[in-house]
Structure 1
């Protein structure tokens, strides 16, 4: 009997120690996630103070990209990462002259080439941060296209992270539907027609279908 009690107590102690270790690990993971979240929000705030237009764009794109990911049935962890990555996808624009970002007329070819450097610039800023999501890839690849016509690397197909392919669709829709410094918004219908035109060539078919379904069903609207 004494041995049985002793064994039971030892088992209880082991179980209690294991439970405590799991609780400590979970607490540490939650603290790490909070720290990473704060990091992303701080980065996004940096962009916002310099270029309010880009900040509003990033928030709207983040909401749409996350909704598309949910519609596609991706796991919650991946959806969360897509939302956070989208919040800072245009981070590299902090290195673009503010007057160029706010230019009220269309960009010249040379000016557009300068704008096209922002994915690489943003990637250089975040690549050393150990995010549990593909944030750096999203920042780097959101202007890549399935057929290799995008930039900065000319990646094709599955060379582009799924998260970045989803972000690309959301980015185009928000940019076309909303006002730009050089033109009024073109509206959601025009934007949806454009992504359907690029479906399977430049843009991920599943992401396009999910995006169109969200708007057509009224389950998502762009908030200004």
Structure 2
């Protein structure tokens, strides 16, 4: 509603009181028709703008509420989708390990340690999710290695070991066709590379080596050395930690090694 006060009192106090009481405008007598018409038009326009601004504000509030609701639904959907992806990955990993019973649970335990390192380093949830997927699949390329080589009880020949060393590239070829939201195929390809360039399959060094691959590489060697293999008994956790400590800075990323050692020595981390 538009209220215009018309009065013979021209005092400032009266004008202020009128506006405080809700008047849209204030006109003093004697009246000027043109001024009255202009004041009415101005008051009506002001009222229209107030109503329009209120409408826009309410619409913006409704849109904000809807957007927040949509974002929350999208977040829940993304979380469920990620859980589904990880469940599928675990199923694939179990299928892979069925061909190599001696390393049953290896990918799972490697993933446990790699995930703990990521969390201790304070890396993002996205990095953590990516390394969990890559860890669960890092040996998927062994599907292309003959089972008799994987389970051979004696020392591998040079040719047999060369076949073993094809599994990162084979894993990469399997995974590169899947559009993960993380560089899973590249991490799997690099998990046997070393920062001094002495690893395989490409012999790349620190400059080209993904942080996730460095983390996975350390976790992989610790679990592998601590566990039984067809060609040797378990070397034990102490020997595995000694290995990464001795080769820190040459084979293995120093920060990753230090955090890995800290997890076992101070944080009570254990494979399970």
- Give the alignment's TM-score, normalised by structure 1: 0.91
CA contact (8 A) 2:103 2:229 kept: no
The match for 1:161 is: 210
Kindly name which structure, 1 or 2, has the bigger radius of gyration based on alpha carbons: 2
2: distance between equivalents of 1:3 and 1:157?
A: 61
1: distance between equivalents of 2:267 and 2:76?
A: 39
The match for 1:41 is: 90
Alignment gaps of 5+ in structure 2: 1-49
The structural deviation recorded for 1:24 is 4.1
The structural deviation recorded for 1:138 is 1.8
The match for 1:26 is: 75
CA RMSD, Structure 1 to Structure 2 (Å)? 1.9
The structural deviation recorded for 1:2 is 4.8
The match for 1:105 is: 154
List aligned pairs for 1:51-90, cutoff 5 A: 51-90=100-139
1: distance between equivalents of 2:64 and 2:257?
A: 49
2: distance between equivalents of 1:127 and 1:101?
A: 24
CA contact (8 A) 2:154 2:231 kept: yes
The structural deviation recorded for 1:198 is 1.1
1: distance between equivalents of 2:83 and 2:175?
A: 17
List aligned pairs for 1:140-219, cutoff 5 A: 140-217=189-266, 219=268
* Higher RCO (C-alpha 8 Å, min separation 6): 1
Alignment of 1:221 with 2:270, yes or no, is: yes
The structural deviation recorded for 1:218 is 5.2
| Higher deviation after alignment, 95-104 or 45-54 | 45-54
2: distance between equivalents of 1:4 and 1:171?
A: 62
The structural deviation recorded for 1:45 is 2.2
The structural deviation recorded for 1:16 is 3.2
1: distance between equivalents of 2:243 and 2:72?
A: 49
Alignment of 1:115 with 2:164, yes or no, is: yes
The match for 2:16 is: none
Distance of aligned partners of 1:134 and 1:219 in 2 relative to their CA distance in 1, 3 Å threshold = farther
1: distance between equivalents of 2:170 and 2:201?
A: 10
CA contact (8 A) 2:225 2:237 kept: yes
C-alpha distance after superposition, 1:180-203 (max 9, x if no partner): 111111111111111111111111
C-alpha distance after superposition, 1:14-46 (max 9, x if no partner): 223323432343244234323422331232122
C-alpha distance after superposition, 1:143-173 (max 9, x if no partner): 0011111111111113011000011111111
C-alpha distance after superposition, 1:101-137 (max 9, x if no partner): 0110010000000000000000111112122223212
The match for 2:184 is: 135
2: distance between equivalents of 1:11 and 1:191?
A: 60
Q: How many residues align?
A: 223
CA contact (8 A) 2:114 2:216 kept: yes
